[in-house]
Amino acid sequence: MEEQYLVTFCTTPNKQVAKKLAQILVEEHLAACCNIIPSIISIYSWKGTVRNDQESLLVIKTTKNKFRQLEQRILENHPYEVPEIIALPIGEGNRNYLNWISEYVEYQI
């Protein structure tokens, strides 16, 4: 299988921001599906300080072709100065599910 499908991760300050971003991405056919994990703890370094924050995690299913547009929409609507936007290729998956992703984001069913 070609690595044309992506799972993209984006942390947000809370569930409301995650829901807003998910709504935009799905409505604009940049993602077929977004899952929200409402409460995670993130420990990270930012501007010389180790931070420990509660966040929400947005898990986004899309295609490689749509990644740059998806990234741009997140950047336009995210409150963080430097939001986490990272993507991992989906190497294998249920063929019907992967076809649905393609049909929704590429062909806008």
Q: Return the CATH number at 101.
A: 3.30.70.120
**The Cα angle at residue 38 between residues 32 and 40, in degrees rounded to 5:** 115
Q: How many domains does the chain have?
A: 1
Per-residue pLDDT of the chain (109 residues; tens, 9 = 90+): 455 999 999 999 999 999 999 999 999 999 999 999 999 999 999 999 999 999 999 999 999 999 999 999 999 999 999 999 999 999 999 999 999 999 999 886 6
Domain that holds residue 18: 5-107
Q: What is the pLDDT of residue 107?
A: 81
Contact 57, 17 (CB under 8 A): no
Question: Quick one: tokens of 10?
Answer: 């984006």
